[in-house]
Amino acid sequence: MRKNIYLLFELVWYEAIKELPEYERTEMYEAIFEYALTGKQPEGLKGSGLALWKVISDRIPTPTDREQTGTESEEDHE
């Protein structure tokens, strides 16, 4: 059974991330979605990307957060 996972991606994140160099934007997007899906902290973020991560990571719900609050969808997908 697969579950839907919803992530509210804030406009301010997008606006801040688009100011990063292209390679850092890719790393940041991957870090956000990996963290939201697995709870795994990103490795290798540096400079502006790391600073931005420290600001937004507390606003990203992890699988553990969703289990504790019961906000994960239980719809089946085939």
The domain in which residue 48 lies consists of 20-69
Which helix (DSSP H) or strand (DSSP E) does residue 28 occupy?
helix 22-38
**Is 50 part of a structural domain of the chain?**
yes
Q: Exposure of 78 by Cβ count < 10 A (0-12 exposed, 13-18 middle, 19+ buried)?
A: exposed
pTM of the model: 0.76
Confidence of residue 77 (pLDDT cuts 50, 70, 90): very low
Task: Indicate the number of domains in the chain.
Answer: 1
pLDDT of the residue at 50: 95
pLDDT of the residue at 3: 73
Rounded to the nearest integer, the mean pLDDT of the chain is: 84
**Is 56 part of a structural domain of the chain?**
yes
Using one digit for the tens of pLDDT, what is the confidence trace for 51-65? 999 999 999 988 877
